[in-house]
Amino acid sequence: MSQRSLIYGFHAVLSRLRHHPGSVQVIYLDEARRDKRAQEARRLAEEKGVKLVASEASRLEEMAHGKSQGIVAFAEPIQLARTLDEVLEDLTEPALLLVLDGVTDPHNLGACLRSADAFGAHAVIVPKDRAASLNATAMKAASGAADAVPFIPVTNLARALRELKERGILIVGTDLEASIAVADADFSGPAALVLGAEGTGMRRLTREHCDVLVRIPMYGQVESLNVSVSAGVCLYEARRQRAGLEA
């Protein structure tokens, strides 16, 4: 029997249907829904040849622990790229990678994937241990980005960073106390942006592998941003520089 994962929420399910319909085994849709998103789900399921089952809302909520939004699917896991090598070999521009060190909240992971997709990061890299996995909660928070951005867990993050450096990729870490503002870093060439968990930040060994540390200037009373917001700010700056845009 093939392994399958649970996906819920309209953004996540419809994205999987559009991009990887062959992986979807069955969809359960609230039988009372007649709105535009429900109609789109029915249309896409029929178009892609995916089984759709009309279900009671209470059953869907039980399946998705109260977060179904009226739609649940079971699908085979997908892997956009299995290794860093596969990602880097296919690039037609300098690499832009997002590395998350110790981010354990799946909501934050999903939001980081959304930022990565929005600003054209080529992959999100995480350690296999002591980090959030790409589960149903993360995929819902990603709103479809999990189907577009390669998600690569690595056994040894420090070793992965060393390998990136050997390929000429600049390792840019984020730190509240860094002397360089993110806008003053050079993202014109291949770069990997590294963010740690809120509160603890990057681990010591991860920090030691960074070529440069940058900070996001803060002008209010709060001392730090959510990791997904920080990822969005830094990735936007990288794209701004590459596109030659005005701030």
Q: Which two tokens stand for residue 99?
A: 């590395």
Instruction: Say whether 110 counts as a known binding-site residue.
Output: no
Length of the chain: 247
Number of alpha helices (DSSP H) and beta strands (DSSP E) in the chain: 9, 11
Instruction: Say whether 196 counts as a known binding-site residue.
Output: yes
Instruction: Say whether 225 counts as a known binding-site residue.
Output: yes
Instruction: Name the 3-class secondary structure at 110.
Output: helix
Q: Left, alpha or beta for 143 (phi > 0: left; psi -120 to 50: alpha)?
A: left
Alpha-carbon span 225 to 218, nearest angstrom? 9
108-111 — which CB contacts under 8 Å span 24+ positions? Answer: 108/132, 108/141, 108/198, 108/226, 108/227, 108/228, 109/134, 109/138, 109/141, 109/142, 110/137, 110/138, 110/139, 110/140, 110/141, 110/142, 110/143, 110/145, 110/146, 111/141, 111/142, 111/226, 111/228
Contact 202, 131 (CB under 8 A): no
Task: Tell me, letter by letter, the H, E, C secondary structure of 225-240.
Answer: CCHHHHHHHHHHHHHH
Annotated binding-site positions:
196, 216, 225
Annotated binding-site positions for S-adenosyl-L-methionine:
196, 216, 225
